[in-house]
Amino acid sequence: MPIILSCNELVQMAMGHWYAQIIYVTARLQIVEIIAQGKTSLEEIALATKTDKKALYRLFRVLVNLGLLNELENAHFQLNSIADYLKKDHPQSIWATVMMMGNPERYQAWGELLYSIQTGNSAFEHCFEENMFDYLAHNPESAYFYQQTMKRFSGIEAKAITKAYDFSSFDLFVDIGGGYGELLTQLLSLTKHQRGILFDKSYVIEKAKNLYEQSQFKDRLQYIEGSFFEAIPSHGDAYFLKNILHDWNDNKALEILQNCYNGMPNHASLFILEDVIDSGLNDISTTLLDLNMLIIYQGGKERSQQEFEELLAKANFNLDQIITTEDNICILKCYKN
């Protein structure tokens, strides 16, 4: 259902960039971590964050109104429970996501939404003269925030995916552009005999190896560096493209699918894991994600079932079925024609 807003709520939404930067600066200065460590006075926190004490107090007054902090006597502050999500080590931490959303490059790109609406082109590439993935390759801090954010969302989605479909009949999974391996390890955690190949760029694979070298999956995981625009690993029987195609225009997405077709054995299944946008009302998060694709990625978009069917047909795949999950992400099961 659409969101029904009052006039005041509409004004609050127009001020959304204020709130975004307030939360971002709180995360950037690691204020929650500092208070959690026992430094509760304004003076101590200003010293630890190297900030102006009077300006910091003005920020804290807003954080109190937002419910993240409580102000005690003598300019001391304590955390409310909601602030715990801004701790780096919280099991449901959103710290990296807040950092990614508020970081200058993404904030600047969203500031150029008008450019994307007027031209249909990526505001990010307009601002930085390269695509987002090339940008991340030489901006390690931004790459870290991006991968940690994808790791968080991927963990949530992986549980929804494995709950919605039984993958136990497959022996070798291949996760194409699989990031830090959240989906793959979730799949492997359900049985003891299956194996997995994590396929991604070298800077991603290097970090993924460190995550799992001492884990229960170390003997069942293989790491392969490469690009899905060149070739994919062969010999698997279940291939996964999770939130990959929506980053690319139809020509690039077709190129990825054709490389999948060329690398996959004839008996293998391809599982495309993405939101499916329909012609009616969609969840607000799906439509916002689609707009983000427009801004950040040249030609990126969420696709409808018809758009998926047309794209798959060009790559000689058949869309067998679409399985919904308890999350917005869907499972599109495909076979080679």
Consecutive 10-residue averages of pLDDT for the chain (337 residues): 80 93 97 96 97 98 97 96 95 95 93 97 96 92 91 91 95 95 92 93 88 86 95 95 96 97 96 86 82 94 95 97 93 96
pLDDT of residue 279: 54
Quick one: pLDDT at residue 1?
58
What's the pLDDT score for residue 284? 84
* pLDDT given at position 217: 87
Strands (DSSP E) along the chain, which ranges?
A: 69-71, 77-79, 172-176, 195-200, 221-225, 238-242, 269-274, 317-324, 330-336
Contacts of 139 (CB under 8 A, 6+ apart): 105
Contact between 246 and 303 (Cβ < 8 Å): yes
**pLDDT for position 5:** 79
Alpha-carbon span 130 to 108, nearest angstrom: 14
Class (C level, CATH) for 106-336: alpha beta
Tell me the whole-structure pTM to 2 decimals: 0.85
Query: Is 1.10.10.10 the CATH number for 7-89?
Result: yes
- Residue ranges, CATH 3.40.50.150, the chain: 106-336
Separation of alpha carbons 328 and 324, rounded Å: 8
Name the pairing type of β-strands 172-176 and 195-200.
Answer: parallel
Q: Which residues are part of the catalytic machinery?
A: 246
Return all residues near 119 (Cβ < 8 A) that are at least 6 apart.
Answer: 126
CATH 1.10.10.10 domain span(s) along the chain: 7-89
